[in-house]
Chain A
Amino acid sequence: MELTNLETFPGKTIVRHLGLVQGSTVRSKHVGKDFMAGLKNFVGGELKGYTELLNESRNEAIARMVAQARAAGGNAVVNVRFSTSNIAAGAAEVMAYGTAVEIR
């Protein structure tokens, strides 16, 4: 499965446009990591626990989007977009969406 956030695949042709596909997930870290992130906030800098959390979530969201695209009969997703929204303290929704296509 190939992903791009371009509208086309350079060097390849899109033969079928299979419509909108999307994947999303909501995750949180355990309260210990929330606490550590809270402490880290005193000095600033990267909150590794949350970076990790959002990366895991994004990978899961992509995997779910890809599962939809595959079920639709596509072999690529073009124009991929991400969006993240805050739900509760330490929990975020990550979403990935795009258009499933068949390329050749």
Chain B
Amino acid sequence: MSYENPEVPHDVNVAPGNHLIEFLRLAAALVLLVLLAAAVLYLAGGQLARFIPFATEQRWVGDRVIGVKIERNDSDVRLNQYLQQVTDSLSLVMHLPDGMRIRVHVISMKTPNAFATLGGHIVLTRELFDLMPSENALAMVIAHEIAHVKHRDPISALGGTASLGLLLAVIGGDASSLAPQVAMLVQRGYTREAERRADLDAIAALQARYGHAGGAAAVFELLAATHADEHVGVPTLLSTHPTDAERIGILKGAARDWRAENAPLVPLGP
């Protein structure tokens, strides 16, 4: 009987492989999974929110315009009346559901912008209005935002964001840190499809209201020019507007289809 201690391999007790590579692979997989879950939740929450009746949405919101501070300025009265009149005439041809009334507001911001928010409110910035070459172009912007309200895109964005907040709360994060993003998303967090649909609806509305869709492409040509100037700093989460070039192409095509390239445009102004 002999007693000895031959050399034994110690490395059997540690599984082979590089820790860093494994870590990077796992982290990538986790990020992917979370993004996927977020996308699914966002879309599902958005779809669910569309089932909330518009009357209920209006009751919640009332006269408040979510996300902006409206300043009642006397000099704006005529402009407001004019904008509301354009809005009402477009609402008429867009066959909005019963009880859906669109109210339009003007605010002063540093950038040209327009958005639809909860409760059937549409907001235009003065800077955007000042850029408009014709009433047709203005009508294109307003009709686009009316289409968003008609399709319930603002409440859908809210529903999607609320679901994301839920996911964040489950993961253990701070859901309230989403709050600043909520306002932004409600204004601008629509999907590509929603934007395209709104564009097409707006073109149809222009066609019905003015007899042609001329002047619409000018809006996006203007926006493309301003976008090129400014630094785009807002990360668009899960929601990308179609590129300006893409939209200009669609609108020019629509204008051609309706032989509106040289149609007379209505001058702008209250």
Contact = CB atoms under 8 A, between A and B. Distances in A.
Interface stretch (B3-11, B54-62, B68-76, B80-88): B3-11
Interface string B1-42: 111111111001101000000000000000000000000000
Contacts of B1: 14-17
Interface string A42-81: 0000000000000000000000100111011100000000
Contact of B6 (A15, A64, A67, A72): A72
User: On chain A, which size bracket covers the interface?
Assistant: 20 to 34
Q: Dominant SS at the B interface?
A: loop
A10 to B, nearest CB: 17
A92 interface: no
Contacts of A15: 1-2
B145 to A, nearest CB: 43
Contacts of B4: 16-19
Interface residues of B, number: 12
A68 B6 CA distance: 10
B22 to A, nearest CB: 14
Contacts of A19: 4-6, 8
B35 to A, nearest CB: 17
Contacts of B7: 71-72
Nearest to A18: B6
Interface of B: 1-9, 12-13, 15
Given A15-B2, A17-B2, A21-B8, 6 more contacts: A16-B4, A18-B4, A20-B5, A64-B13, A68-B8, A71-B9
